[in-house]
Structure 1
Amino acid sequence: MEDNLDTIGKALTEMARGELTELSSLLASACTHDINENKINCYYLKVDANGRPRLNELIKYMSMKITDYTIPRNRINKAKQKLIESGCTDEITKIALEARKLFTKLELTGEGGELLLFALTESILKFPQVLCKMSLKTDEQMHFHGADGVFLGVDDNDMLCVYWGESKLHATHSSAISECITSIANILKMEPDVDSDIRLIDYIDLDNSSLEEAIKNYFDYTSPSYDQLRPCAVFLVSFDHSAYEKSNTKLTNENIREKIENDFLKPRIQLRSATLDN
């Protein structure tokens, strides 16, 4: 593949799996913030006609993403090819069962949040996951340390952006955002002590060897392409909100959206941002 960021960017966008329309009955946009060149999109979980949050439906949607999240693309594509050639679903079933086993049975785990981060990043932002960290686990019952996801995209300034993902589920948004920034700051600075995360790029899997080699050039500090690599972050911050509290009035999507919008726009929330050294 031609080592051209426009070509790479188009290829990456086409690889992103899922569409925003798949989530339109489950999630809706409440508001958007642009703070310190960072974009914050706030979505809320919709309720059904009886005012019940569609949490079970969201869980079902997430469960359908398990295989894409945990199994490398080359294995998925081989299973799909066997299905096309033989009409047999054995390989599809095999990797689906394997994907389920990769999740820990520990009660306190962030793997659910990481799965949702993956699903939303690919379907909404169109940044494809380029590394299946779950498939690198040596013990299914252990949580994988480091960034919660690795995604790639090309920005409007012709920079290859590696998005290190972080997911936090907290009771309040402020504590979750603060913890996300703290967790990802060292990786964004490319500190020596997080070199193990960066070296994981060696395991990049797009099932396209020429594209993989072109991308790896941007992570090689001896390559001229290294100047066009930009470390970025994508956060999923999930938290409780008073809009969902029980009351005598039936919950509606419009009421939930208005309450969330008021909280986030009046007054504007001041978010603490991390200052990264060049």
Structure 2
Amino acid sequence: MEDNLDTISKALTEMARGELTELSSLLSIACSHNISENKIDCYYLKVDANGRPRLNELIKYMCSKIIDYTIPRSKINKANKKFIETGSTVEIAKIAHEARKLFTTLELTGEGGELLLFSLTESVLKFPQILCKMSLKTDEQMHFHGADGVFLGVDDNEMLCVYWGESKLHSTHSSAISECIASVASILKMESDVDSDIRLIDYIDLDNDKLEEAIKSYFDYSSPLYDQLRSCAVCLVSFDHTSYKKSDSKLTNENVRDKIEIDFLKHWKKNIEAKLKENDIEHTKIIFFYLPINSVDSLRNTFRTELGLN
């Protein structure tokens, strides 16, 4: 494969798994905002016809993505090939079991947020995950430090963008955004374990040798292509929001959306701008998924129950 960004861009987009339509009954955008090169899409969790937040359905969707998230593409494709050849699902069952075992049993795990970030990044942005950090864990009870995910995309300025992922699920907006921006700033400014994450590029698995070699050349600082590599970030910020509290009237999507939009414009937007400046990354390209929900504790606990970890 030629080291051509148009070719790489097309290959990466085609490699991203999932479609926005898969999420249309669960999530919808309340508002969007741009700050310099930062983009914020503020979503809300939809409610059903009876006014109940569709959190369980979102968790089931997330859990359907665990193989894609945790298992390298080459291993998935090998299992699929075996199924086509033999008609047996044994190899697929094996990787499904392996995927489930990779999730920690720690109660305060952030892996649910990482999985949701992965799902949104591939489905909405069409930036594929280029390596499965979960599959590289040496201890099932240990987390990788550094970024929560590594994704690739090509921007309009003909730059190959490596998107370091960061997800934060907190009970309050202020703590979620503060910790998220501080964490991603340390990665973008090379203050944390980003060097180890860059070394993980050696483990890139797109099941396409030519594409992998073409991409790796951009990460070689002795190559002229290194000038076309840009470090960016993609973040998930999720927190509890009062719009989902029980009231005398039935919850509707319109009411939830309007309350979230008001809070975003009045409070959250200013908070984000201040935190970006405070951490000196206001001119860095960062894409935010904002997701106020009814309860991050419920998301975390139900996610663990769904995977059989409780």
Give the TM-score band, short-chain normalised: over 0.9
Q: Could you tell me which residue of structure 1 aligns to residue 280 of structure 2?
A: 275
Where has structure 1 moved over 4 Å in runs of 4 or more?
none
Partners of 1:110 and 1:36 lie apart in 2 by: 29
The SS at the match of 2:269 is: coil
What is the alpha-carbon distance in structure 1 between the residues aligned to residue 143 and residue 244 of structure 2?
31
Matches within 5 A, 1:25-174: 25-174=25-174
Closer, same or farther in 2 for the Cα pair 1:194/1:3, shift >3 Å? same
Aligned-pair identity (%): 79
CA distance in 1, matches of 2:227, 2:87: 47
Deviations 1:22-68 (A, max 9, x none): 00111111000101220000111101100001111111101100000
SS for the counterpart of 1:269 is helix
> How far does residue 174 in structure 1 lie from its aligned partner after superposition?
2.5
Q: Secondary structure of 2:167's partner?
A: strand
Instruction: Decide whether aligned partners of structure 1 residues 228 and 191 sit closer, same or farther in structure 2, where only a CA change above 3 A counts.
Output: farther
- Within 2, Cα distance between the matches of 1:198 and 1:137? 16
Across the aligned residues of Structure 1 and Structure 2, the Cα RMSD in angstroms comes to 1.5
Instruction: Give CA-to-partner distance per residue, 1:73-102, whole Å, 9 cap, x none.
Output: 000000111111111111100000000000
Within-5 A mapping of 1:172-191: 172-191=172-191
Match in the other structure for 1:260: 260
Structure 1, unaligned runs of 5 or more: none
Contiguous gaps of at least 5 residues in structure 2 = 285-310
- The aligned amino acid for 2:218 is Y
Whether 1:14 and 2:14 are equivalent positions in the alignment is yes
Aligned to 1:241: 241
Would you say how many aligned residue pairs link Structure 1 and Structure 2? 278
| AA aligned opposite 2:117 | L
Shift, 1:2, TM fit: 1.0
* Structure 1 residue 144 displacement after superposition: 2.1
Give the CA deviation at 1:146. 1.5
Deviations 1:174-208 (A, max 9, x none): 32122112112232123585311111111011000
- Secondary structure of the corresponding residue to residue 81 of structure 1: helix
TM-score normalised to structure 2 length: 0.87
Note the 1:193-204 alignment, pairs <5 A: 194-204=194-204
Q: How do 1:221-232 and structure 2 match up within 5 A? A: 221-232=221-232
